[in-house]
Amino acid sequence: MYLRPTDLSAALTALKGRPCTVLAGGTDFYPARVGRPLPDAILDITSLAVLRGVREEEAGWRIGALTTWSEVLATPLPSVFDGLKRAACEIGGRQIQNAATLAGNICNASPAADGIPALLALEAEVELSAHDGVRRLPLASFVAGSRRTALRPEELLTAILIPRWCESARSTFLKLGARRYLVISIVMVAATVDAGADGRVARAAVAVGACSEVSQRLTRLEGRLLGKPLEPALADLVRADDVAALTPISDIRGSAEYRRDAALTLVRRALAELGRE
C-alpha cells in the first residue's frame, strides 16, 4: 500500500489506522532496501507543504520536518546556526543535500549521523504529532540508540525546534573522516557558546558524535566553561576525563582508542575556534 496525503491530518489518520514506513527524502530509505522487499505500507509525506521551511517564532526557530539540508544552507540565519550549516555541507554530495531532510537524519538514528551533534549543541527539541495530540521531547531523549528512537508507531516527527540564543552566540562543527567529503564520520564535534556583556561564557553546549551508540553532550566540560573569558584559551580547559563517558568502537575507520583521542583534539579545536571569532 502506497499513500501520499496532501494534508497533515490525513497523514496522521493513516498512521493511526495502520503501521506505515514514512518516506520523506528517501536518501536512507532506498539504499537500506536494496535486495529487500518494500514495506507493506508506505506513507509518502513529500506533499505536506506545511512541513517545509525554517521560520522564526517567539521562542526560537522551527524547522519543518521536510526541510532539506540545502534549504538550511540557503536560509539566512543568525551565527548560532553556523555549526548546523557546516554539518549540512557534510551530508553527502549536493544531490543528497537537495533531497535529504534534517528530520530523516534524526529518525534514521545512525551513530554517525552528522546532523545530530550539531542539533544537540543547539539544544534542539523535536515535535511529535499524532492524530490525538502533539508532544515535544529533547533531541537527547528522542534518539534512544543505534537506529532506535522514541517515535511511536502512530506519530510523525513534524518539526525540529531550536530555542532562542542571544544574537552573539557562536557555533561550529568539525568532522574527521578518511577524506574531506562524502565519507562516514570517524569522529565529529559540535559546539555552541554564548558570552554575556562581560565577554564571559554564559551558556555552552558541546556534543560528540560517532563515538558512542548515541551522540553525547559533554556536560561536565560545559559546566567548567561557564564564567570563563570567551577566548582561544577555552581549549585549555578540556581534559581527558571529559570524554571518558564516550564508548567508541573499533572498526575499519579507526580504533576505539584513536576515536577517543581524536574526539579530545576536535573538542579543543572547536573551542579554540569559537574563542577566536
Q: In whole angstroms, give the CA distance from residue 158 to residue 12.
A: 11
All domains of the chain, ordered by start, with CATH?
171-276 (3.30.390.50)
Query: What pLDDT digit, counting tens, does each position of 131-146 carry?
Result: 999 999 999 999 999 9
State pLDDT tens for residues 224-268: 999 999 999 999 999 999 999 999 999 988 999 999 999 999 999
Rounded Cα–Cα distance for residues 129 and 151 (Å): 10
Query: Does the structure show a pLDDT above 80 at 182?
Result: no
In this structure, is the dihedral angle defined by the CA atoms of residues 275, 235, 172 and 137, taken in order, positive or negative? negative
Are 43 and 146 contacting, i.e. CB atoms less than 8 angstroms apart?
Answer: no
Question: Rounded to two decimals, what is the model's pTM?
Answer: 0.95
Output the DSSP codes for 213-264: SS-EE-HHHHHHHTTSBSSGGGGGG--GGGGTT-----BTTB-HHHHHHHHH
